[in-house]
Amino acid sequence: MKKLIIGEDIVKSFETAGKSQIVLDHVSVQIEEGEFVSVMGPSGSGKSTLMYALSGMDEIQGGKVIFDGKELSNLKEEALADLRRMEMGFVFQQPHLLKNLNVLDNIILPAMHDMKGQKALCIKRAKHLMKTCGISELEDREITQVSGGQLQRAGICRALIGEPKIIFGDEPTGALNSTAAQEIMKLFLKINTQGTTILLVTHDAKIAAQSERVLFMKDGKIVNALKLNKYKGKGLEERTKKVMDQMQGLGV
């Protein structure tokens, strides 16, 4: 399998009040093309920071990140921004859609930059995605008039409109009830089956248990990894328990 992301010996530190804190402590990680990987770990363990490092959203102080064969630190700011916009999609806990645009216009917005003059094609793509995500009927709806789960689906459509190679999700189900969270997870699984690589930070063992591999972080390090594909035949309950056992092992 081709590696989509290779992170080698990543060091990330923050300066606060004159003191330096190491938040990613020589982290190495590889994500294969088409893989679905979750990241779990206590609050403050560095999960979001790892995601920002791997997507080039944040500079790192040591090590390197190679995304689809390109070393991020060798790219100029503009090339990096292009790479992020065209090859990566981001989904956060809150989708941050624009209130003055309806759902459809929010979804096509990122693609309009790269597909100038092709609005009809953007709309066609958006409508297809909205169908996949089960929100076809919301096209003209104001952002303030949809539920949290629907809003997150719109956020996922927006992340997918540029046909990225990977979706980075930082607790995308964190603000949802368990039924809505499960629906969103189903959607991620469908998107993954269609070929998009997914890296998902989550606090929910049941969500993580549905991915192929779970990385466990503690104090800025990946301290453990659990391959779940080998349990594919087994029930979700059993896999969830395996994930929870690992979390307990971290003292969480």
For residue 152, state whether it binds ligand ATP (rule: CB under 6 A).
no
Separation of alpha carbons 41 and 216, rounded Å: 5
Alpha-carbon gap, residue 183 to 165, rounded angstroms: 22
Q: Which does 248 bind (CB under 5 to 8 A by kind): ligand ATP, Mg ion, none?
A: none
Please give the residues from 155 up to 214 whose contact with ligand ATP meets the rule CB under 6 A: none
Q: By rule CB under 6 A, what string of x and - marks binding of each residue 44-73 to ligand ATP?
A: xxxxxx------------------------
Locate 213 and state its tokens.
Answer: 């591999």
Indicate the angle between helix axes 148-160 and 119-132, nearest 10 degrees.
130
Give the angle 103-137-165 at the CA atoms, nearest 5°: 55
Q: How far is CA 131 from CA 104, 138, 154, in A?
A: 12, 10, 11
Q: Which residues, numbered 34-53, are part of the site for Mg ion (CB under 5 A)?
A: 48
Count of residues engaged in binding Mg ion, rule: CB under 5 A: 1
Give the nearest distance from C-beta 4 to ligand ATP in angstroms: 21
Judged by DSSP in three states, 183 sits in helix
d(CA 96, CA 153): 12
Decide whether 38 or 48 has the Cβ nearer to Mg ion.
48
Which residue number, 146 or 167, has a Cβ lying nearer to ligand ATP?
167
Each residue 4-43 as x (binds ligand ATP by CB under 6 A) or -, in order, gives: ----------x-x------x-----------------x-x
Residues that bind Mg ion (CB under 5 A): 48
Contact residues for ligand ATP, defined by CB under 6 A: 14, 16, 23, 41, 43-49
